[in-house]
Structure 1
Amino acid sequence: MNPPPSSRYSFLWLYCTVFLTGAAVMVIELLGTRLIAPFYGASLYVWASLISVTMIALAIGYFAGGRWADRAKHTGLSLIIALAGLLTLLIPAMVGPVLLATDSLGLRLGTFISTLILFTPSLIMLGMVSPFAVKLATSSLAGVGASTGSIYAVSTLGSVIGTLFLGFYLFPLVGSREIFIGLGLILFLLALLVGVIERKRLQSAATALAPAVLLSFIGMGVLPKVSDASVAQHRQASLETRFAHESLYGWVRVVDNPAANMRLLTADASTIGAATLSHGQNLLTYQKIVELIPRLVPGMTRALLIGQGAGHMVASLKQFGIETDTIEIDPAIAQAAHEYFDFAPTGKTIIGDARYEIRQLQDRYDLIILDVFTGGTEPVHLLTQETLQQLRELLTDQGVLALNFVSFLEEGSNVALASVGKTLQQVFPHQLTFISEPGDDFNDFIFIASNHDLSIYGGTLSRSQQAWLETRSLDINLGQGIILTDNFNPLEQLQTRKAEFYRRLIVDAVGIDHFVR
């Protein structure tokens, strides 16, 4: 290899290359969670797996790239980038088969193995770029420190810009699979440009030939394609997807099951709304418990619903003359509720993260419903003592907080369930607890908390309604619970079994195809 000129300006192309490939690393890492989340959820395990796999792949890439750089003569940087582009293009086609193959491994191992298979190859090739670039930019041992520092600084800067560009601009406009395809094509284009430069430096056409051949294969459509037969065999022929949208927070779908007279609203592998197809009636029992609260504590006029879902509770509260403000983090859910579940707001409709939005509220409410705990991973920051204290400050003197939590009962020994009750106890002196489906271990649990005494035998509840609630009343031993705070909140780990069970329950009911396409 000819010694490079000492002028740094002659290596501007090299710095541009490591900048772009550094950005590509972060794009793949961030988008990886979006491909995995519809199947395994957006839990800490998914993020831990992606970060670990990225670091493993980059470590291998740094090592292999350094060895290749020392030995390469006619195959250089352009080939590495071209291979990274090819492997990136294959990722969207591999998602379905890989997720199906790892499904039986469980949440933690399945998440790690699937990310390892899907993203390691392309990330290894991208990791090889920086040490190879250091070799090209170093003319003598005296300058190796400056060359190495400059290359890795520019690569890191590219990662920062790539992260911000993806999160703030690109992802809200383009789907994750389309971004993967676009990224692969950009890497191919970069490989061709680098190949042309390398050809001049090495006086060999071989450096530009490899990426050109791979790019021509793409143009002719002869790159290997992953068959979707393994996905298709899992499809539920009786189901119809009426609405599907990839939002900033996951895949939102409306799925009809005519045979069961049911319409579901799902966010990734989580059901957040269910109604009959024939009459649009709510099918979620826990919501029917919450809808009795205006009879338990009469005189309510204002309510706040955190976690709008399909919006059935808004319609039910309207029958009592209650005006309800809603907070929903995902605009796609709000759209689906309006178009497919006839959601009609009676108060303010707020789109945003609840923890931020409740700090902006100035109104006081007779009833606050916290209903964000349905699927794989709860937004645990909404179930801390600090959050509950903020909600208490929004209640009137006779106000009530209703909280829905999905978990196992485990004969009253579930630590996660006890922790929710114990945390509520730190903020509210009085609470009632109900189970949605008596006799089932896996269930919705509804906590009703207030600053004043609560009893199902007061208010305007009819005798039949009291009897219905009596069968669902539950006493939980709170002694084994943990007070959940912003500083210490192990709820996600405590709910691992629940997350795995819930995902399997929904996948079996709706069909695996709805979560891997």
Structure 2
Amino acid sequence: MLRSEKIRLYLTVFLVGIAVMIVELLGTRIIAPFYGASLYVWSALISVTMLALAGGYFIGGYWADQAKKSHLSLVIACVALCIFLIPWITRPVLLVTDSFELQLGAFLSALILFSPCLVFLGMVSPMAIRLSSLVLEEVGTSAGTVYGISTLGSVIGTLFLGFYLFPRVGSYQILIGLGVVLLILSGITIFYEREKSKTYIFFLSIIFITAVAIGILGLTNVHRNSSIHSGGHSFKILSTQESLYGWVRVIDEPEKDLRLLATDSSIIGAASIHNGQNRLAYQNIVPLLPLLAKHAIKHALLIGQGAGHMATVLKSQYGIMVDTLEINPAVAQAATDYFDFMPTGKTIIGDARYKIRHLKGAYDLIIHDCFTGGAEPEYLLTVEALNQLRSLLSEQGMFVLNFVAFAEGGKNSALASVAKTIDQVFPYQTVFISEPSKDFNDFIFLATINNFINLNKKSLHSIQKAWLKQRLFTIDKAKGIILTDNFHPLAYLQTKKANYYRSTLIGWLGTNLLIR
């Protein structure tokens, strides 16, 4: 093989390596709005990728040995066609797999949506090895070079996608762009393939035309209507933005005077449309927090800003300056644009575990509200993470954490694990349930360093005291484990919760709002 032909072949392998990682990483962005971005979804995508590539290696190796011609251009064209089909089949595939539980549904969705193009991508490397090996003695060198270049392409693809494309371009546009690049690559490859028959060129042309048509129609069909009727409810999508951390939507349900802030499959903010008042029940405890504190609260930190209602209440009622820490800039922007949130302290954008290392206390109040109905960032609720937060808290300060789980009479293992972990860092802990009549609930943990929470303080009215005491909740901590950076299996412990939350959300909002 001529040196120029080898370079062309290695460039093909390099681009295929890029394509593999783009498809794998985009997979989570496409499935997450329906199944969440939990460890289960990532495990499903990685497993499907490895399985499909393994199948492609076997098929490609067999084809390379048996076929008289390479047909590499055909394989690459088939990849493009499969990629162009993904935006079209995503909705029906997710609807079909919805009848399964979270783990199996996520796996089957990934298998159906992404394995066809990944199998074809896997076929390229063994075919390239066969083409680049003139004699038996060169097979080892050729195989090492091909897989090395392919892996390098995967690295470049990962960095390019994560650092450059994701913040600037939508997932489906990236997919379609990738398909276009592969179609061009297929067209270039056919001119270097020898002994091309008319039948082969005709068949390849049909695939080309079909892929181009599907790609163009798919690109024009990316955006959905803003008004949706589902399950007897009428919704209006005010804003949709794809961010580094998933889809952020602002949704109105006029019949209920309700405005929602959603990220993927989680509701993280709710307000009345006409007056902007908070509609999330668990946040009703926030106005009482300064009354429960031993000393006056002057400076607070809110981790997980959401729609910003908690920070607004603390400022408007008590004049407390609240610094907000939000990982998703799209959420922070939506809170300002659609929920009239005005920062009262520093606005910090970034991952909490990184940002809190650079904050300086002392805060009189820290509210930790990152645990929603969807996927949970377990690493934010380990002994190590809580110790970092304690270091930012004043000696008389209060730590507050919201956690979603089933009550199960206080014997829920996830709930017990949270309580047991907090015990490792804070000597005093009081737990409230948001809505005592329900099993599925928000639980609010109040923890301090030096003293118990006093529910009989004179600063509380009798109605407020009764309201709080009615919501006191006892947890059997023996059912839990201590969560650490080394071992924090909350995703496993919360499987039942994740399935219930998702089914409830679908029953309310319908699939149209969760599938693009």
Asked if Structure 1 and Structure 2 have the same fold, meaning a TM-score greater than 0.5 normalized by the shorter chain, the answer is yes
1:8 Cα deviation from its structure 2 partner: 4.0
Q: Where does residue 181 of structure 1 map in the other structure?
A: 176
Corresponding residue to 1:312 among 293, 296, 309: 309
What secondary structure is seen at the aligned counterpart in 2 of 1:139?
coil
1:41 aligns with 36
Counterpart CA distance in 1 for 2:204 and 2:111 is 25
Which residue of 68, 88, 104 corresponds with 2:83? 88
**1:137-188 alpha-carbon deviations (Å, 9 max, x no partner):** 1111111111111111111111111111100111111000111111111111
Cα distance in structure 2, aligned partners of 1:52 and 1:503: 23
1:393-412 equivalent positions in 2, closer than 5 A: 393-412=391-410
Matched position secondary structure for 2:89: helix
Using the TM superposition, name which of 211-220 and 127-136 deviates more. 211-220
Q: How many angstroms apart in 2 are the aligned matches of 1:261 and 1:224?
A: 36
Q: Does 1:216 align with 2:212?
A: no
For the pair 1:53 / 2:51, whether they are aligned, the reply is no
Partner of 1:142: 137
Change (3 A) 1:189 1:421: same
Change (3 A) 1:105 1:415: same
CA contact (8 A) 1:252 1:332 kept: yes
The corresponding residue for 1:358 is 356
Query: Helix, strand or coil for the counterpart of 1:115?
Result: helix
Aligned to 1:104: 99
- Mapped pair 1:293 → 2:286: no
**Letter paired with 1:440:** K
Counterpart code for 2:209: S
State how far apart, in whole Å, the 2-side matches of 1:236 and 1:166 are: 39
SS in 1 for 2:366: strand
Partner Cα separation in structure 2 for residue 239 and residue 270 of structure 1: 16
- Offset, 1:234: 5.1
AA partner of residue 96 (structure 1): R
1:487 maps to a residue whose letter is N
CA contact (8 A) 1:331 1:351 kept: yes
Indicate the residue corresponding to 1:390 in structure 2: 388
> 1:17-46 deviations in whole A, cap 9, x for unaligned?
000011100100000000000000001110
Does the CA contact (< 8 Å) of 1:81 and 1:125 recur in 2?
yes
Give yes or no for contact 1:376–1:502 (8 Å, CA) kept in 2: yes
Letter in 2 for 1:97: P
State how far apart, in whole Å, the 1-side matches of 2:458 and 2:63 are: 78
Task: State the shift of 1:219 in Å.
Answer: 4.4
Tell me if the contact between 1:191 and 1:211 (Cα under 8 Å) persists in the aligned partners.
no
Aligned mates of 1:467, 1:325 — CA distance in 2:
31
Deviation at 1:71, TM superposition (A): 2.1
Q: Is the partner of 1:188 in helix, strand or coil?
A: helix
Q: Distance in 1 between matches of 2:215 and 2:84?
A: 13
C-alpha distance after superposition, 1:231-283 (max 9, x if no partner): 98957661101111010001111110111111111111101011111211111
Rounded to whole Å, the distance in 1 between the matches of 2:214 and 2:514 is 27
SS across alignment from 2:104: helix
Supply the AA of the counterpart residue of 1:252.
Answer: V
Q: Separation in 2 of the partners of 1:221 and 1:379?
A: 38
Tell me if 1:427 matches 2:425: yes
Give 1:285 shift.
Answer: 1.4
Post-superposition CA distance 1:391-420 (Å, at most 9, x none): 111011110000000000111110100110
Q: Residue type of the partner of 2:299?
A: R
Does the 8 Å CA contact 2:336/2:342 hold for their aligned counterparts?
yes
Q: Which amino acid aligns with 1:28?
A: V
Letter of the 1:287 counterpart: Q
1:500 equivalent in alignment to 2:499: yes
Report the residue type matching 1:212 in the other structure.
S
Identity %: 55
Partner of residue 369, structure 2:
371
Equivalent position to 1:162, from 152, 157, 161:
157
- Of 416-425 and 65-74, the range deviating more from structure 2: 65-74
2:64–2:70: 8 Å Cα contact kept in structure 1? no
Describe the SS at the equivalent of 1:427.
coil
Pair 214,203 (structure 1): closer, same or farther in 2 beyond 3 Å: closer
Paired residue secondary structure (1:440): coil
- Whether contact under 8 Å (1:23, 1:159) holds in the other structure is yes
Contact 1:252 1:333 survives alignment (8 Å): yes
Pair 1:233–1:281, CA change in 2 (3 A): closer
Partner of 2:478: 479
Counterpart secondary structure, 1:238: strand
* Conservation of the 8 A alpha-carbon contact between 1:236 and 1:511: no
Q: What's the counterpart of residue 323 of structure 2?
A: 325
SS at match of 1:300: coil
1:78 equivalent in structure 2: 73
Deviation of 1:207 (Å): 5.5
Shift of 1:421: 0.5
Q: Aligned partners of 1:221, 1:463: CA distance in 2, in Å?
A: 66
Q: Tell whether 2:342 aligns with 1:344.
A: yes
Measured against aligned partners, the alpha-carbon deviations of 1:36-57 in whole angstroms (never above 9, x if no partner) come to 0000000111011111101110
Match for 2:247 among 219, 243, 251?
251
Calculate the TM-score normalised by the size of structure 2: 0.95
Question: How many equivalent residue pairs?
Answer: 508
One-letter code of the match for 1:346?
T
Cα deviation for residue 114 of structure 1 reads 0.6
Structure 1 unpaired stretches of 5+: none
2:129 & 2:485 partners in 1: Cα distance?
44
The more displaced of 471-480 and 248-257 is 471-480
**Equivalent residue number for residue 119 of structure 1:** 114
Rounded to whole Å, the distance in 2 between the matches of 1:176 and 1:16 is 24
**Which of 264, 270, 274 in structure 2 is aligned with 1:268?**
264
- Equivalent residue letter for 2:443: F
Q: 1 CA distance for matches of 2:232 and 2:251?
A: 11
CA contact (8 A) 2:84 2:218 kept: no
SS in 1 for 2:127: helix
Distance 1:167 1:206 in 2: 41
- Answering whether residue 275 of structure 2 is matched by residue 284 of structure 1, we say no
Question: Post-superposition shift, 1:364?
Answer: 1.1
Q: CA deviation at 1:479?
A: 1.6
Is this contact kept in 2: 1:236–1:510, CA < 8 A?
no
Any idea what SS the aligned residue of 1:128 has? helix
Looking at structure 1, the residues matched to 498 and 400 of structure 2 have their Cα atoms a distance apart, in angstroms, of 22
CA deviation profile, 1:60-87 (whole Å, cap 9, x unmatched) = 1001001111222346100000001100
- Aligned mates of 2:249, 2:232 — CA distance in 1: 15
Residue 478 to residue 54, structure 1, CA distance change in 2 (3 Å)? same
CA contact (8 A) 2:80 2:117 kept: yes
Q: Secondary structure at the match of 2:322?
A: strand
CA gap of 1:338–1:223, structure 2 versus 1, over 3 A, is closer
